[in-house]
Amino acid sequence: MEELSHFSLKPLANKTFGAIVTDIRLNELDNRQFSALYQAWLEYGLLIFPGQYLSDAEQQTFAARFGDLIKGVEAVELSNVLPNGSLRDAPDDDMMKIIRGNMHWHQDNTYMPVQAKGAVFSAKVVPQAQGDTGFADMRAAWDALDGGRRNQVAGLSAYHSLVHSQKLVGEETKSVDSEYIGYGLDIDDTPLRPLLKIHPETGRKSLAIGRHAFGIPEMSEGESSKFLADLMDFATGDPQRTYQYQWTKGDAVVWDNRCLLHRACSWDYSEPRVMLHSRIAGDPETESA
């Protein structure tokens, strides 16, 4: 445990990233505390804050300290609970299709013109078991590539599409009258992104892959699919580069979307799970496709 003047920080054991932060209240941060916290976030990529119990407004305020929030995703519930309190069980429910699709490794908003910078996520209602969130360090994955593969990857790009990725896993959403119109289902120009991402603040290199990536221009469809799948298997195949967080009600996390992948984990859908998501906008100069 690293004892800082602002808070206590404990790096995740045997992992290349991530830390648990205690002795801090996210709704009472002064500028000095936040500055130290921001630097820790850049270093570790993922910060976990047990027992914060943030209100929607408090989470939005905390997330906005990292940068502008994406319109419409300032503080939105990702949940299998309908507004009337009943559980979503319709097989064609778009929210559940997106949630199930997000159980595959991805980065937020790579299918949009500007990729997200990061996100704050907190647990409002958790199921009795499962419902974890997984994270994967793409900085360490890049570092682990051999020189030849690095050179190959550095020269390649891939298209990113939410429509394509949902269809690929059998969770195709409606093109009209969807809860998710405006969040990647109505993009006219499919973004093309390099497979190598250089972090704009730390300068570290990382793999820029995930479920939304497809169609490397220099390859056939089959070659591209295999290449990206093999790269994903390699990147997420080492337990030191991945971490699965088991939620307790009131916990909060913030992750750097520019260098980590994440994914939801399944749970018993007869139980409610309500997570509050605040998405931090990327800088158009560094996160544009």
Find out whether 210 and 106 touch, Cβ atoms under 8 Å: yes
Is residue 288 a part of any domain in this protein? no
Residue 20 CA: distances (Å) to CA of 13, 193, 200, 276, 287: 10, 32, 24, 19, 27
In this prediction, residues 175-198 reach a mean pLDDT of: 80
Average pLDDT over residues 130-147: 97
Q: Would residue 243 count as lying in a domain?
A: yes
Coil, strand or helix at 221: helix
Is 289 domain-assigned? no
In a domain, 287, yes or no: no
Distances (CA, A) of 156 to 149, 209, 218, 226, 232: 11, 11, 8, 14, 15
Residue 286 covered by a domain = no
Count Cβ neighbours within 10 Å for each residue of 207-231 and write b for 16 or more, e otherwise. Answer: bbbbbbbbbbeeeeeeebeebbeeb
How many domains does the chain divide into?
A: 1
Per-residue pLDDT, averaged over 220-234, amounts to 98
- Residue 182's pLDDT is what? 56
In the prediction, which pLDDT does 177 show? 67
CATH code assigned at 201: 3.60.130.10
The rounded distance, in Å, linking the Cα atoms of 271 and 288 is: 38
- Entry pTM: 0.95
Joined together, the tokens standing for residue 20 give 């648990």
The pLDDT-based confidence of 240 (bands split at 50, 70, 90) is very high
Give the C-alpha distances (Å, rounded to integers) separating 247 from 64, 81, 89, 145, 264: 23, 18, 23, 32, 11
**Residue 223, domain extent:** 2-78+87-281
Contacts of 193 (CB under 8 A, 6+ apart): 110, 115, 157, 158, 159, 160, 208, 213, 289
**Residue 2: its pLDDT value, please?**
60
Give the position of tokens 């409002």. 124
Which pLDDT tens digit goes with each residue over 12-44?
999 999 999 999 999 999 999 999 999 999 999
Kind of pairing between the strands at 46-49 and 252-256? antiparallel
81-104 pLDDT, tens digit per residue, is: 999 999 998 888 888 999 999 999
Query: Measured in Å, how far apart are the chain's first and last C-alpha atoms?
Result: 39
State yes or no: pLDDT of 181 exceeds 60: no
* Residue closest to 196 by CA, chosen among 118, 138, 137, 115: 138
**Residue type at position 42:** L
As a whole-number percent, the residues of the chain with pLDDT over 70 amount to 95
Q: How confident is the model at residue 5 (pLDDT cuts 50, 70, 90)?
A: low
Q: Which residues of 245-263 are buried (b: 16+ CB within 10 A; e: fewer)?
A: bebeeebbbbbbbbbbbbb
Q: How far is CA 246 from the centre of its chain?
A: 16
Torsion angle defined by CA atoms of residues 204, 64, 287 and 200, in that order, rounded to the nearest 10 degrees: -30
The DSSP line for 98-166 is HHHHTTS-B-TTTTSSB---EEEEEEEE--SS---EEEEEHHHHHHHS-HHHHHHHHT-EEEE-HHHHH
